[in-house]
Amino acid sequence: MKTLKEMLAEARQIVPEEGPTEVAKRVAAGEKLAVIDVRDPDEFRDGHLEVATNISRGFLEFRVGTTVSDPSTPIVLYCQTGLRSMLAAKALKDLGYATVINLQGGYQKWVQSGLPTVREVSLTTDQIQRYSRHFLLSQVGDKGQRKLLRSKVLLIGAGGLGSPTALYLAAAGVGTLGLMDGDVVDITNLQRQVLHTTADIGKPKVESGTRTLKALNPDVNVIPLPTRITVDNVMDIIKDYDLVVDGSDNFETRYLVNDACYLAGKTNVHGSIFQFEGMATVFAPGQGPCYRCLYPTPPPPGLVPS
């Protein structure tokens, strides 16, 4: 009969180990990677790696196929200290998964290294019903919904573009929405700016916008920012958000948002519109072009009406 020590030694022969920093680097680089937490669900709930999927050791061989469809996808396994997952990794190697890596020292060492973790917050009965159609989508699911609820998005402009975007993001359960606009509601806004109503004429757009969004989904923490974005406030404001949606209506703001997002490393979801034409793109620092690559200089004043 083999001892546990012998079994672990045998597994180590075929399963490479990587420390928390190396695994964190792979994740940050966006590598195609499946991270599986093989601990029990209660351990997982208490804290886990954000990217991880929980499949308890006992179910691993049965359920791994639903998480990892391509056996050539590299898999990182971890448990609390790195022993259970070492044996689990060997089992996956035996099943034919090409690259299986064990997180050395497990979750414990990950935490000790000061790397980020997330705690599973339990969804309320209302939330389970509200987002039930998301749970049916394999790409969103329960895990995705929790991620949305933890996400923070800054909407620059609560006008023609910002209104529908804000409504959809609030409905989808994006947990924090910063709503930034220095204007008040004007009657001419109402045929397209669907966040605001006739009774809101003369009120700050962020006030009516916040009320509409909260009425749609009380889960959402709406942060009203009743000011224009300027060179003095932009960096301080965007630092608190995961992503910025530019729905502004002028070139100065657009260049400012572009530059600030690039310098702060924030992805900028850009949209603009004129009469019957619109356009949309995403500026992701380091991954694609920015607004200045697209339009190096603004059009002469007066050429493009807003």
Which residue type does 78 have? Y
Distance, CA of 127 to CA of 217 (rounded, Å): 10
- 194 forms part of the interface with other proteins (CB under 8 A): no
Least separation, in Å, of the C-beta of 264 and other proteins? Answer: 10
Least separation, in Å, of the C-beta of 72 and other proteins? Answer: 20
DSSP state for residue 18 in the 8-state scheme: E
Stretch that binds other proteins, among 86-94, 105-113, 161-169, 197-205 (CB under 8 A): 161-169
- 69 forms part of the interface with other proteins (CB under 8 A): no
Per CB under 8 A, which of residues 174..193 are in contact with other proteins?
A: 174
- Other Cβ atoms closer than 10 A to 168: 11
Member of 54, 165, 208, 212 binding other proteins (CB under 8 A):
165
- 272 forms part of the interface with other proteins (CB under 8 A): yes
Distance, CA of 222 to CA of 224 (rounded, Å): 6
Distance, CA of 86 to CA of 14 (rounded, Å): 10
Beta carbons of 220 and 175 less than 8 angstroms apart: yes
Distance, CA of 234 to CA of 257 (rounded, Å): 8
- 290 forms part of the interface with other proteins (CB under 8 A): yes
Beta carbons of 51 and 146 less than 8 angstroms apart: no
Per CB under 8 A, which of residues 220..259 are in contact with other proteins?
A: 230-231, 234-235, 242-243, 245, 247-252, 254-256, 258-259
Member of 135, 169, 202, 207 binding other proteins (CB under 8 A):
169
Stretch that binds other proteins, among 12-20, 74-82, 119-127, 159-167 (CB under 8 A): 159-167
